[in-house]
Amino acid sequence: MTECPVCAADVESKDKIAGEVFPCVDCGTELEVRALEPFAVEPAPKEAEDWGE
Amino acid sequence: MKVAVVGGSGYVGGELLRLLLGHPEVTIEQVTSDRHVGAPVGRVHPNLRKATSLAFSPRASLRAADVTFLATPHGGSAPIVPELLASGGVVIDLSADHRLKDPSHYPRYYRQEHPHPELLEEAVYGLPERHRERLRTARLIAVPGCIATAAILALAPVAAAGTGPGRRAVVDAKSGSSASGRDAGPAGQHAERSGAMRAYAPAGHRHAAEIEQETGIGVALSCHAVEAVRGVLATVHLLDGDPPAERELWKIYRAAYAGEPFVRLVHGSDGIHREPEPKILAGTNFCDLGFASDPAHGRTVLLGALDNLGKGAAGAAVQCLNVRAGLPETTGLGFLGLHPV
């Protein structure tokens, strides 16, 4: 269990894998699992306007 | 539970009848309208065709009920409340006649002295999110105004948390045409209303008194008519101080409304529905709340959205009924709204 870095909602670690991207249930921010022990998430990088160019 | 509805031909009355007809613990014994005596309810409220065999009766024929709802114009409830209370029933007043505690506010905001100021202290403001315990035993319940409900629910947590940047707020409210009632006059005619984006009360709107009473914060309220039939969006600006960070705002609002069945926090990181919007709330009893921190301008922005006929009137009245009767608060209020609509 950890907190969403944007809205402080509880974020469950159950069944999550490293690198997984999932939305926060409250604010909808796309979160990326950065570590499992201890469980840590960060806002996932957003696609920029020039992504892939 | 046997109920009566006084003034059932208006928009609020119609919405109240719709909700009560779907309420499993309620039997509507009587609905009055002096203008439509003898008319079947479904003739005045076409969405209720075949939903009931009730017809409107004159107010003079009103009989005692377990609960009497007053969906009367402002000034129409106060004269009849003492007699209804004497009969032993509960009164749920959807007019403004018992919302304000200070009798001096009635001539100021409603241009008339209150005929029974002795009842103002007893009346419980019908906002379960703030007065649930008192509502459980109330004889007289005053259902809040629609704009007031949106603004109070948005503003109160920051006011109570003491982390707000000051004691004054600007409330900018937009409302749909049904908020002005079935007898809106020339302002409600299609030619005048269609496409409107009109400031109808840039200052001095009467709901400011309710917001100040409930939050303890000085409120400057401006109201606008917009192109919608139902809906209120109140945007509250707290301008003087350091705004809490958004993470803190989330915590404040979660703590304030944990377990509330009809308050939802809406502040998404992206998407077209990331902030509260009344459009998707039509027919529901929800009040969606949002917020944003604007430290560059020392501003906290709070948003409240609801259906003026739902959580802003009839839905709130039924929620209060449920609290008073000891029923689950969501009884008869389970409609989730429509999307798209």
Decide if A53 is inside a domain: no
Average pLDDT over every residue of B3-19: 97
Decide if A48 is inside a domain: no
Give kind and range of the element (H or E) at residue A3: strand A2-3
Q: Please count the structural domains in chain A.
A: 1
pLDDT at B228 over 80: yes
Q: Is the four-CA dihedral B163, B168, B170, B173 of positive or negative sign?
A: positive
Cα(B289)–Cα(B291) distance, integer angstroms: 7
Q: For B33-92, what is each residue's pLDDT tens digit?
A: 999 999 999 999 999 999 999 999 999 999 999 999 999 999 999 999 999 999 999 999
Average pLDDT over every residue of B257-283: 95
The parent domain of residue A17 ranges over 2-43
Answer yes or no: do B269 and A26 touch at CB < 8 A.
no
Return the pLDDT at A47.
Answer: 66
Task: Evaluate whether B56 touches B39 at the Cβ level (below 8 Å).
Answer: yes
Decide if A7 is inside a domain: yes
What type of residue is B84? L
Answer yes or no: do B267 and A7 touch at CB < 8 A.
yes
Answer yes or no: do B250 and A30 touch at CB < 8 A.
no
Q: CB contact, 8 Å: B268 with chain A? A: yes
Strands B218-225 and B198-201: antiparallel
Return the pLDDT at B99.
Answer: 98
Phi, psi (deg, nearest 5) at residue B81: -65, -45
CA torsion B22-B24-B27-B32 (nearest 10°) is -30
Q: Is B80 left (phi over 0), alpha (psi -120 to 50) or beta?
A: alpha
Where do the domains of chain B lie?
A: 2-144+310-325, 146-306
Q: Was domain B2-144+310-325 assigned CATH 3.40.50.720?
A: yes
| Model confidence band, residue A49 (pLDDT cutoffs 50, 70, 90) | low
Q: CB contact, 8 Å: B265 with chain A? A: yes
Lowest mean pLDDT among B219-223, B270-274, B284-288: B270-274
Q: What is the CATH number of the domain that holds A30?
A: 2.20.28.160
Decide if A6 is inside a domain: yes
Least CB–CB distance from B251: residue in A8, A27, A29: A8
> Which residue in chain B has the smallest CA separation from A43?
B269
| Model confidence band, residue B241 (pLDDT cutoffs 50, 70, 90) | confident
Residues of A in contact with B268 (CB under 8 A): 27-28
Decide if A18 is inside a domain: yes
Least CB–CB distance from B268: residue in A5, A8, A28: A28
Beta strands in B160-217 (DSSP E): 168-175, 198-201
Cα(B320)–Cα(B340) distance, integer angstroms: 29
Burial of B51 (0-12, 13-18, 19+ CB in 10 A): middle
Cis before B186 (ω within 30)? no
Q: For B111-157, what is each residue's pLDDT tens digit?
A: 899 999 999 999 999 999 999 999 999 999 999 999 999 999 999 99
B146 is known as an active-site residue: yes
Q: For B156-182, what is each residue's pLDDT tens digit?
A: 999 887 654 457 899 999 999 998 887
The residue that leads in pLDDT, B290 or B185, is B290
Answer yes or no: do A27 and B250 touch at CB < 8 A.
yes
- What's the complex ipTM? 0.76
Return the pLDDT at B164.
Answer: 46
Within the 23-42 window of chain A, which residues sit less than 8 Å (CB to CB) from chain B?
Answer: 24, 26-30
Strands B90-93 and A10-11: unpaired
Phi, psi (deg, nearest 5) at residue B246: -65, -35
Average pLDDT over every residue of B100-112: 93
Q: For B66-83, what is each residue's pLDDT tens digit?
A: 999 999 999 999 999 999
Decide if A49 is inside a domain: no
Class of the CATH-defined domain B146-306: alpha beta
